[in-house]
Amino acid sequence: MSRIVSAQDVFDGKPRIKDTRVRVVDVVGYYEQRGLEPEEISEKLGVDERDVYAALVYYYENPKEVRRQLSGEMIA
């Protein structure tokens, strides 16, 4: 069962951690831009550490998509 889901009616279909409102871009932002470790991200966002790793795997499997979303977040 996938820990990362997307639905058009939640965050316009942006991928997120299942049963949460934590988006993959949120996790990646903390990891790449702020330099936090997965354990720290887990604590900060209130999600399981396995979910943080799942979000990072999603990012590494879909880097262009997630980077595009990240750049949109920075502009907004």
Contacts of 46-55 spanning 24+ positions with Cβ under 8 A: 46/22, 47/17, 47/20, 47/22, 50/3, 51/3, 51/17, 51/18, 51/20, 51/22, 52/27, 54/2, 54/3, 54/4, 54/17, 55/3, 55/4, 55/15, 55/17, 55/22, 55/24, 55/27, 55/28
Domain definitions of the chain by residue range: 4-75
The CATH number assigned to the domain with range 4-75 reads 1.10.10.10
What is the pLDDT at residue 76?
44
What is the pLDDT at residue 74?
56
| Residue 26, φ and ψ in degrees, nearest 5 | -65, -45
Quick: pLDDT tens for 36-74. Answer: 999 999 999 999 999 999 999 999 999 999 999 888 765
Quick: pLDDT tens for 6-21. Answer: 999 999 899 999 999 9
